[in-house]
Amino acid sequence: RPASMFVADFIGSPPMNFLAFRGGLRKGAASVRVNGADIALPEIREDRADGELALGVRPEYIRFDDASRLRGAVFGAEYLGTTQIVTVDTAHGQVKARLPADIAVNPGENVGLAFRGEKLSLFDKSSGRAIHTALIDGARHG
């Protein structure tokens, strides 16, 4: 788990996606609300007043989900043999997802995005530092 947005931004190709949002955090909570969608994540270990936050998710932990309220439009796809990197324009900026190459995508297509909650990171956007969650406490890099 990266200790900061700086570290997360240069590890991996493509690097971690950051979805900026505004909100407060309650110690013990296991989700955040982003653009009307409740996103599950490891238990939050600290309280935070309302502020600028960022949800960090690696491209390989994103999937399409028609039921998701977190939506965007497919911008394009780069095929890499058995996988593809799909770029999706969202209200939070572009998100890159690593998906199997056999999933059909079309530019302009409206898709819902879902994440593996146990693989998400949470950051304070102003400082760039990771916010402590149940999983981050035991596995930090950088």
CATH number of the CATH domain containing 37? 2.40.50.140
Residue 9 binned pLDDT confidence (cut-offs 50, 70, 90): confident
pLDDT at 142 over 50: no
Q: How confident is the model at residue 94 (pLDDT cuts 50, 70, 90)?
A: very high
Does pLDDT of 65 surpass 90? Answer: yes
* Total domains in the fold of the chain: 1
pLDDT at 57 exceeding the cut of 90? yes
The pLDDT confidence band at residue 10, using thresholds 50, 70 and 90, is: confident
Q: Which domain holds residue 55?
A: 5-138
| Residue 140 pLDDT | 36
Output the pLDDT for position 34. 80
Mean of pLDDT values over 44-73: 89
When the pLDDT of each residue in the chain is averaged and rounded to a whole number, the result is 86
Q: What pLDDT, on the 0 to 100 scale, is given for residue 96?
A: 97
Strand duo 93-100 + 31-34: pairing: unpaired
Residue 90 has pLDDT above 80, yes or no: yes
Least confident of 15-19, 28-32, 87-91, 95-99: 28-32
Would you state the pLDDT for residue 141?
A: 33
Taking the C-alpha atoms of residue 69 and residue 112, their distance in angstroms, rounded to an integer, is 6
Rounded Cα gap, residues 88 and 77, in angstroms: 9
